[in-house]
Amino acid sequence: MNRELFGLFGSKAELASHCSLSEFDAVVAGSSVAVGIRDDTMDLPARSSVHEGSDGHCVILGEAWMDRSRPESAAEQLYQRFVTEGSEAFEGIYGSYLVVLEHDDDVWIVPDLIRSWECFYTDDSGERVFGTDAARVARTIDRPTLNERAANELFHFGVVFGTGTLLAELHRQPFDRALDAETSRDLERFVYRTASSDRDYAADLAERLEAVVGERIDYPDPKGALTSAGYDSRFLLATIPDLDTCYTLGHPTTPEIETARDVATQYGHDHERLPVTPDYLDPSPSIVQYTNGIRESLHIHHRGNESALDVVTMYHGLLLDTVLRDFYLPGREIDLFGHPLPLPGLESDPDFYQFYRDRLDVYRNGGQLLGKADDLPESTIEEFGERTVSSAIERCRPRTDSVYNAMAMLGVKLTPALPFRTHLADNFVESLFATDPRLVEWHLTTPPEHRNSRTFQRAIEHVDGEIFRHRPPDRPYTSYTLNQISGFLRRNVPGVRSPGTAWPDRKRIYNDNDMDARLFPDSEWVHDHPPRVKLRINDALTWLDLATDRTYTPDDILRRT
C-alpha cells in the first residue's frame, strides 16, 4: 500500500527481520516498540507526523491535529500532552488516524473515534506485530489457519463481525480500545449518553457540520469530490468553495447522474460522469488488498476509473449517513398487499437478525452455511446469523443506553463501505468528516428518534435554503411520508416509473463478462451462487493468497453442496 504503518513490540533490528526499513519514510524505535511509517503527505499540515522525545516517541498515520494555531505537528503536541495528562491527552485529537505512542515504556496504539484506520495484529511469533495492512502482518505468521467463523460471516454478511479475520492467528484492533504489548485497554470515548432536551437538533448539527468541513477545505489543488444526488453530497458541494471536478459513477441517462450534474452546476462546480465498465467489478489483488480480508471489495465504487480521477485531494461524504442518520436504526413499517411500507418512528420490538439481514444483504443459501464449519455449533445460516448478530448487539450494550443505540453502534462498528475509503486514503489526500469528535458527540448525545433523514435534511437546509432545488430522484417530495408512499408505488405498481438505482447492475456486469470462467474456471460447482456471493468468495481467496505463502482454492474454504 502507498500509506502504511507497520511495527512490533521489539527492536528496530527485529522490525528489519520482517521488512526492508528503507521502504518507509520514517522509522522510530524506543525501548518497547519499533514502528515504520510511509506517507507522501507527511509534509502537509494535519497529515501523518512523527515526533521523537527524550523518553519515547509518537507516530500518527492519517489526518490528525490538535491545536491548529500551534506550529508543532499533531504527533509532537499529543506526545507533550501525554507526558503531563496521560491517556486523557487522546481526548484532544481530531481527525481520522492511528496513533502509536510510547513514553517511559508505556505503549498506546490508539484508533480514532470510529476506528476508521484499521490496525491488525498477531502474537504468533512471540512478539506482538501490528500494522494497517492486514496481509503484511499476516505474512509474519508461521502456520496460518483459516478462521471458519469469520469466513462464513464474510460470505453471508459481506463483513466480518468483532475482532476476527480470515486467519485464526490474525486479529483486528477492538473498537475504541488501545493496544499494548499483551492486551488492550478501554478508552471509553464512544459511549451513548442520549437524553431528550429542548435543543434544536437540526440547527446544532448544521453548526457542527459547517465547522467540521470548514476546517478541511485548504487541502492541495486540484480538488475533486465523489458525489451522488444524495443529502451528504449536496451538502459538500454547497460548502466546499473551490472544487475542480465532481465525479459521479453511472450510465448517462440515469436520474442519479442527471440530478448530481444539476446540483454541481447549481454550486458552480464542473461535473464528470465516470462510465460503468467491466472494471467496476475488478477482482485483482491490487483492489482486494483494500478489504484487509474482513469486507467485500464491491464497495470500492470508483474502481476502474482511477486514471480519470485527475485530482490530488478527493472529498466524499462516506459514513455521514451511518453516523448521523437512521441507516442502522429499525424504522416502523406496515404490510400493505404483501409489501412493507415504511412509517415514521422506530420499531418498538426490533428483530435484530432480520433487520441486519436486510441491511447487509445476507446470503441465506437455502439454510446451509456456505463455508466450512467443522468447529461451529450452528448448522444453518439462520442459526448462525441469529447468534452472530445477537452476540454483536450484546457486546455493544455496555456502551449504550437503549436497544436502538446498541443497534446503531453495531452499524458504526461494521461500517461495510470502508474499503472504498481505504482505497481513497491510500491514493489521494482525503478527509473522513464522520470521524470528527463534534459529529460523533452529536450522534452519541442525540436521542435515536431524532437521528433521522428529516433532521439531517433540516440541518443542511440551515446551511442553504436552496440546497433541495433539485430533489433526489428517490425522494421527490419534502414530506417524509409522501416520499415513502411514492417509493412504495414506484417499486410495486405496474406502469409507475421507477427512479432506478444509483448503482450499476452488478449481476449483469458479472454475467456479461463471463466472470465465472475468469474467477472459478476449475470449480464449476461454485457457479450456482449469486454474483455478489461469488465476488465475496473471490475476495477471500485473493486476500488469503496475498496474506500467506500458499494458494487457496474453493475446496479449501467452501462446503460442497
pLDDT tens-digit map of 488-533:
666 666 555 555 566 789 999 999 999 999 999 999 999 999 999 9
Per-residue pLDDT of 315-364, as tens digits, reads 999 998 888 887 899 988 777 666 666 777 899 999 999 999 988 889 98
Q: Which string of b and e fits 87-111 if b means at least 16 CB within 10 Å?
A: eebbeebbbbbbbbbbbeeebbbbb
Least trusted range by pLDDT, from 51-60, 170-179, 459-468, 485-494: 485-494
**Statement: residue 82 has pLDDT above 80:** yes
Per-residue pLDDT of 160-214, as tens digits, reads 999 999 999 999 999 999 999 999 999 999 999 998 889 999 999 999 999 999 9
Nearest by Cα to 31 from 59, 12, 46, 5: 12
The confidence score (pLDDT) of residue 345 equals: 86
Reported pTM: 0.94
**Statement: residue 311 has pLDDT above 80:** yes
- How sure is the predictor about 299, in pLDDT bands with cuts at 50, 70 and 90? confident
- How sure is the predictor about 365, in pLDDT bands with cuts at 50, 70 and 90? confident
Q: Secondary structure of 295-359 in the HEC alphabet?
A: ECHHHCCCCCCHHHCCCCEEECCCCHHHHHCCCCCCEEEEEECCEEEEEEEECCCCCHHHHHHHH
Higher-pLDDT residue of 466 and 335 is: 466
> Which residues, listed in sequence order, are joined to residue 226 by a DSSP beta bridge?
247
**Statement: residue 75 has pLDDT above 70:** yes
> Contact, 342 vs 355, CB < 8 A?
no
**Per-domain residue ranges of the chain:** 4-149+166-186, 201-325+415-504, 350-414, 507-557
**Statement: residue 481 has pLDDT above 70:** no
Per-residue pLDDT of 202-253, as tens digits, reads 999 999 999 999 999 999 999 999 999 999 999 999 999 999 999 999 988 8
The confidence score (pLDDT) of residue 201 equals: 96
Lateral strand order in the sheet of 4-8:
26-29, 34-38, 4-8, 129-131, 120-122, 171-172
Tell me how far apart the 2 most distant CA atoms of the chain are, in Å. 73
**Statement: residue 467 has pLDDT above 90:** yes
Beta strands at 245-249 and 271-274: parallel, antiparallel or unpaired: parallel
Nearest by Cα to 19 from 34, 41, 40, 39: 34
CATH 3.30.1360.180 fits 201-325+415-504, yes or no: no
CATH 1.10.10.10 fits 4-149+166-186, yes or no: no
The confidence score (pLDDT) of residue 115 equals: 96
Q: Give me the residue label for grid cell 476508521.
A: 116
Chain-wide mean pLDDT for the chain? 92
Q: Which string of b and e fits 184-195 if b means at least 16 CB within 10 Å?
A: beebebbebebe
The confidence score (pLDDT) of residue 491 equals: 61
Residue 476: count other Cβ atoms within 10 Å of its Cβ. Answer: 15
> Contact, 10 vs 4, CB < 8 A?
no
**CA distance linking residue 467 with residue 266, whole number of Å:** 9
**Statement: residue 130 has pLDDT above 80:** yes
